[in-house]
């Protein structure tokens, strides 16, 4: 990898050279006195245009540091609203923001931090139809999304437009970071040609994440973005940085450009954006959930049948640590153990399977029915719905 390929910043040709105001000199003085940044670097930052996909766990520190550093135009893309479970790690938001669109709260926070820069809020779901048009106005794209379809979409769009993609992703207490789409560098598909089939890899909602982890990984993405802009140092290209917060260890693996890569290889077969939901097996983390339809029971029906004294066997297919958070007094067999432990169940009794949201228990219901259990029902909406419709004292998580 040639070291100093300056990538970013396309200074607007018809604009006069940027300068810093007196206030800006003061604000950025700790950059200006550092030779690696200096006035040149700070002016590059001022003229840079960075698009952050997602304003969640990764996007929060990223947005904050880019804004603080004086990146001239920061675009943010999101369509979600802030909820209470976000606050454990999404440090752009405060408790009062719960219920507001993320994009609105994020814009306000970033503007408060640095009123001298332009914040463009794109409240939209990134799609194959809008990605290229949106990316066009930016030099660097930073990927802080939470699902495979969007990651492949961001990758392909960046390769097609020849824009660097500063990548970060996290799971529980492990993170991965690198830069894709750099000239002659590898892309996401060189690393992983295909996404996992739905259900084989748990999402953050299912797997959890240590709150500070996206703070660290998002900050690494911010550092790499700033380095790309000022053209200093050794970019994280061709190297996959792995971080394990539990062991507190960084490791680095070699990442090579695959000459047979379908999008950035020598004979690309992907020359336009495709249907990424389909590519990723429809579901992704955000597509509407159940792919199986199984017989269901609503929380209210279950409550009245229990009150009537019907003989029902409540099967909880969550994990033991979830059972500790709250439970309906059911018999616990985690979904992953069900095939091995199905013999513990009595097929003559009526079984009500439940989990947190009804997704895992739908799989369990499907599995048990195929295994010959005739009387299995899935509790629709899981413990979350039970809390909403029957017993609000049951905490939601």
Our CB check for another protein shows the closer of 117 and 170 to be: 170
Site size toward another protein (CB under 8 A) is: 56
Q: Is 204 tagged catalytic? A: yes
Q: Burial level of 102, CB count in 10 A (0-12/13-18/19+)? A: buried
Round to whole Å and give the CA distance between 138 and 75. 8
Asked whether the beta carbons of 349 and 368 are under 8 A apart, the reply is no
Segment interacting with another protein (CB under 8 A) among 76-84, 262-270, 271-279, 360-368 = 76-84
Record the tokens describing residue 286, joined without a space.
């955000």
Cα separations (Å) of 247 from 64, 173, 207, 220, 244? 27, 9, 18, 18, 6
Which parts of 9-38 interact with another protein (CB under 8 A)? Answer: none
* CA dihedral for 225, 95, 325, 288, sign (positive or negative): negative
Segment interacting with another protein (CB under 8 A) among 11-19, 129-137, 144-152, 382-390 = 144-152
User: Residue 55, interface with another protein (CB under 8 A)?
Assistant: yes
User: Residue 78, interface with another protein (CB under 8 A)?
Assistant: yes
SS3 357: coil
User: Residue 250, interface with another protein (CB under 8 A)?
Assistant: no
Q: Catalytic residue among 52, 158, 204, 264, which?
A: 204
User: Residue 322, interface with another protein (CB under 8 A)?
Assistant: no
Q: Burial level of 61, CB count in 10 A (0-12/13-18/19+)? A: buried
**Closest distance between another protein and the C-beta of residue 147, in Å?**
5
Region label for 140, one of left (φ > 0), alpha (ψ between -120 and 50) or beta (otherwise): beta
Per-residue binding letters, 168-207, with another protein (x by CB under 8 A): xxxxxxx-x--------------xxxxxx---xxxxxx-x
Q: Which of 336, 341, 374, 391 binds another protein (CB under 8 A)?
A: 336
Asked whether the beta carbons of 395 and 387 are under 8 A apart, the reply is yes
Catalytic residues: 204, 355
* Residues within the interface to another protein (CB under 8 A): 54-59, 78, 80, 83, 85-86, 90, 102, 143-148, 151, 168-174, 176, 191-196, 200-205, 207, 209, 214, 240, 242, 244, 247, 251-256, 258, 285, 336
């Amino acid at each position: 990898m040639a070291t100093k390929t300056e990538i970013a910043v396309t200074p607007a040709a018809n604009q006069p050279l940027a300068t810093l105001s007196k206030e800006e000199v003061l604000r950025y003085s700790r950059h200006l006195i550092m030779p690696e940044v200096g006035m040149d670097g700070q002016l590059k930052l001022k003229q840079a245009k960075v698009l952050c996909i997602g304003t969640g766990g990764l996007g929060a520190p990223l947005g904050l540091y880019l804004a603080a550093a004086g990146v001239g135009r920061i675009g943010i893309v999101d369509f979600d609203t802030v909820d209470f479970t976000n606050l454990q790690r999404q440090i752009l938001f405060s408790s009062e923001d719960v219920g507001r669109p993320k994009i609105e709260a994020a814009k306000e926070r970033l503007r408060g931090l640095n009123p001298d820069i332009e914040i463009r809020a794109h409240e939209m779901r990134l799609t194959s139809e809008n990605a290229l048009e949106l990316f066009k106005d930016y030099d660097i794209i930073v990927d802080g999304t939470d699902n495979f379809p969007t990651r492949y979409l961001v990758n392909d769009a960046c390769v097609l437009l020849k824009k660097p993609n500063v990548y970060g992703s996290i799971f529980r207490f492990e993170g991965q970071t690198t830069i894709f789409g750099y000239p002659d560098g590898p892309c996401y598909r060189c690393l992983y040609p295909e996404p996992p089939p739905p259900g084989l890899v748990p999402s953050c909602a299912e797997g959890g994440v240590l709150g500070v982890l996206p703070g660290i990984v998002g900050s690494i993405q911010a550092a790499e973005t700033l380095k790309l802009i000022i053209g200093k140092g050794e970019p994280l290209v061709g190297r996959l940085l792995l971080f394990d917060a539990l062991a507190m260890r960084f490791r680095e693996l070699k990442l090579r450009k695959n000459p047979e890569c379908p999008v950035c290889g020598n004979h690309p077969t992907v020359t336009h954006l495709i249907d990424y939901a389909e590519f990723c097996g429809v579901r992704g983390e955000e597509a509407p959930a159940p792919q199986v339809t199984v017989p269901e029971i609503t929380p209210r029906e279950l409550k009245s049948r229990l009150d009537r004294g019907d003989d029902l066997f409540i099967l909880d297919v969550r994990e033991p640590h979830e059972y500790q958070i709250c439970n309906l007094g059911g018999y616990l067999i985690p979904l992953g153990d069900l095939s091995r432990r199905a013999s513990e169940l009595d097929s003559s009794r009526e079984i009500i399977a439940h989990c947190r949201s009804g997704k895992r228990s739908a799989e369990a219901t499907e599995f048990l029915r195929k295994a010959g259990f005739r009387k299995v029902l899935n509790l629709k909406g899981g413990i979350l719905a039970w809390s909403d419709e029957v017993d609000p004292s049951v905490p939601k998580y």
